[in-house]
């Protein structure tokens, strides 16, 4: 009988029910879209942030007098210790190995550069001094189990642009910084002779002109093996850049690891904070100092926090509008049904029974409106995801459950005062027409 009363009343006054369902649907659609995008935005933005470059830098721990300003290392490139290139595959054995999307070692050397293709150098017979950067342009790292991992400086520094093509690591080739090429008059295809002590010369072929917007524009970039041969540092590197997908650091992540208890340390280690990933890399690279490039990591955190805050504010505004709309509709419905409510109470229905009946009707309406809102919200989330990130977020049963709970909460909150008023009606004045 109770269910019959609910369903019969739900079928009556369809216009008011449709208006209430429409208000709920719009509010729940905004909530669905915001929740779907919010759950997906962290991973999407993390991938987009990788265009900012590496967020971790590895240097020898034995280096003295470290100098870091804004996350950038300003130590002399030829000073201090070196790290073995053979240890680099260990990076992909850490707990967060799937979050490490690229890494590239660097070995710098101050070299003498000369080329017969340069009119300035050929006429004067004077060579020039320049920095040579040895790195990977497309390297395959052998991992355990016969797997390989493709990485390069192109992935850790994606804003580097090369006119022409990158050098082949197996060939004596190089790319020239745009300012260096302009000063020397060299172009793609010209031979470039480099030497550390002007006794042993290596001839490289320029395959491209590099534009980075940084000091690399004044350098020669060549395969790591070339820099190792010139510096007499076989199998070694000076610095390593690592690009990892991370979760923006919060106050907990910024705490000193040494002050954490066992549970806190486990929670910190099992969260992909940039600091916890840095710690895990340091554990597998003996003699290495892994540091966070804070200007990149902090920028990611601020942007993600603001985007999520905007989504939550929009959701809160939509839910508030839904509460007001449901409240107005519920109040009007209670006024219309005063006679019906008075008759039920005159026949013996208590205040609790009347309140329960009206609340059940509202919850049924919330279920319908929440379901419609979820479907509409998926369409909106797909549109927003495609426009902003190029990929729509996947539907989630978790979001469906949250939306239905929100719809019920919004409906009950908006209907609370009208339902309380209806439950406390005195049937005698109502039935007398007062």
Report the candidate in 89, 132, 349 with the shortest Cα–Cα distance to residue 224. Answer: 132
**For the residues 43-66, what does the mean pLDDT come to?**
69
What confidence tens digit (pLDDT) does each residue in 131-178 have?
999 999 999 999 887 889 999 998 898 889 999 999 999 999 999 999
Q: Which residue has the tokens 């369903």?
A: 7
Range name among 5-9, 64-68, 155-159, 190-194 with the lowest pLDDT average:
64-68
Burial class (CB in 10 A: 0-12, 13-18, 19+), 163: middle
Cβ burial, residue 32 (10 Å; 0-12/13-18/19+):
buried
What tokens does 371 get? 């379901």
Q: Are 223 and 169 in contact (CB under 8 A)?
A: yes
User: Given this model, what pLDDT does residue 71 score?
Assistant: 46
Band of the pLDDT at 204, cuts 50, 70, 90? very high
Q: Is the pLDDT of residue 29 over 60?
A: yes
Q: Say if residues 419 and 362 touch (Cβ distance below 8 Å).
A: yes
pLDDT of the residue at 77 = 46
Higher pLDDT, 23 or 226: 226
Cβ–Cβ < 8 Å for 180, 217: yes
Cα distance between residue 179 and residue 209, in whole Å = 9
Angle at 404 between CA 399 and CA 409, to 5 degrees: 120
Q: How confident is residue 377, by pLDDT bands cut at 50, 70 and 90?
A: confident
**Angle at CA of residue 185, ends 181 and 189, nearest 5°:** 75
Task: Report DSSP letters for 172-218, one per residue.
Answer: SEEEEEHHHHHHHT--TT-EEEEESSSSS-EEEEEEEEEE-SSGGGG
What the block records as the tokens of 286 is 């003996």
- Collapsed DSSP state (helix, strand, coil) of residue 295: helix
Could you tell me if 168 and 224 are in contact, meaning their C-beta atoms sit under 8 angstroms apart? Answer: no
Alpha helices by DSSP H, listed for 50-150, are 119-124
36 is written with which tokens?
Answer: 């779907």
């Amino acid at each position: 009988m109770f269910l019959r009363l609910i369903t019969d009343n739900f079928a009556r006054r369809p216009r008011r029910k449709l208006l209430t369902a429409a208000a709920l649907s719009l509010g729940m659609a905004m909530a669905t879209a915001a929740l779907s995008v919010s759950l997906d935005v962290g991973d999407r933005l993390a991938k987009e942030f990788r265009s900012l470059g590496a967020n971790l830098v590895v240097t020898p721990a034995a280096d003295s007098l470290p100098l870091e300003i804004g996350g950038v290392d300003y130590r002399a490139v030829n000073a201090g210790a070196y790290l073995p290139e053979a240890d680099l595959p260990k990076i992909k054995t850490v707990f967060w190995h799937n979050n490490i999307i690229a890494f590239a070692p660097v070995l710098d050397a101050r070299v003498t550069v000369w080329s017969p293709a340069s009119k300035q150098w050929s006429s004067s017979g004077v060579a020039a001094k320049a920095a040579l950067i040895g790195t990977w342009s497309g390297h395959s790292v052998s991992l355990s189990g016969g797997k390989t991992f493709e990485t390069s400086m192109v992935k850790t520094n994606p804003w580097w642009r090369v006119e022409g093509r990158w050098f082949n690591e197996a060939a004596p080739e190089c790319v020239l910084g745009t300012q260096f090429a302009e000063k020397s008059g060299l172009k793609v295809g010209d031979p470039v002779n480099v030497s550390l002590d002007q006794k042993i010369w290596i001839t490289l072929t320029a395959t491209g002109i590099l534009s980075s917007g940084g000091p690399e524009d004044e350098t020669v970039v060549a395969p790591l093996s070339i820099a190792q041969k010139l510096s007499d540092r076989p199998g070694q590197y000076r610095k390593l850049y690592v690009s990892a997908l991370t979760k923006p650091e919060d106050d907990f992540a910024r705490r000193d690891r040494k002050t954490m208890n066992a549970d806190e340390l486990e929670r910190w280690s099992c969260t992909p904070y940039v600091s916890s990933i840095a710690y895990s890399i340091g554990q597998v690279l003996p003699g290495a100092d892994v540091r966070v490039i804070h200007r990149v990591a902090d920028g990611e955190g601020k942007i993600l926090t603001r985007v999520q805050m905007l989504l939550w504010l929009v959701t809160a505004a939509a839910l508030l509008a839904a509460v007001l709309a449901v409240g107005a509709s519920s109040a009007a419905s209670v006024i219309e049904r005063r006679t019906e409510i008075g008759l039920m109470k005159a026949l013996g229905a208590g205040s609790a029974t009347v309140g329960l009946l009206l609340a059940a009707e509202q919850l049924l309406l919330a279920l319908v409106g929440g379901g419609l809102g979820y479907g509409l919200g998926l369409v909106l989330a797909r549109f927003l995801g495609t426009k902003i990130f190029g990929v729509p977020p996947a539907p989630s049963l978790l979001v469906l459950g949250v939306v239905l709970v929100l719809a019920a909460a919004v409906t009950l909150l908006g209907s609370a005062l009208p339902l309380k008023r209806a439950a406390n009606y005195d049937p005698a004045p109502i039935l007398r027409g007062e």
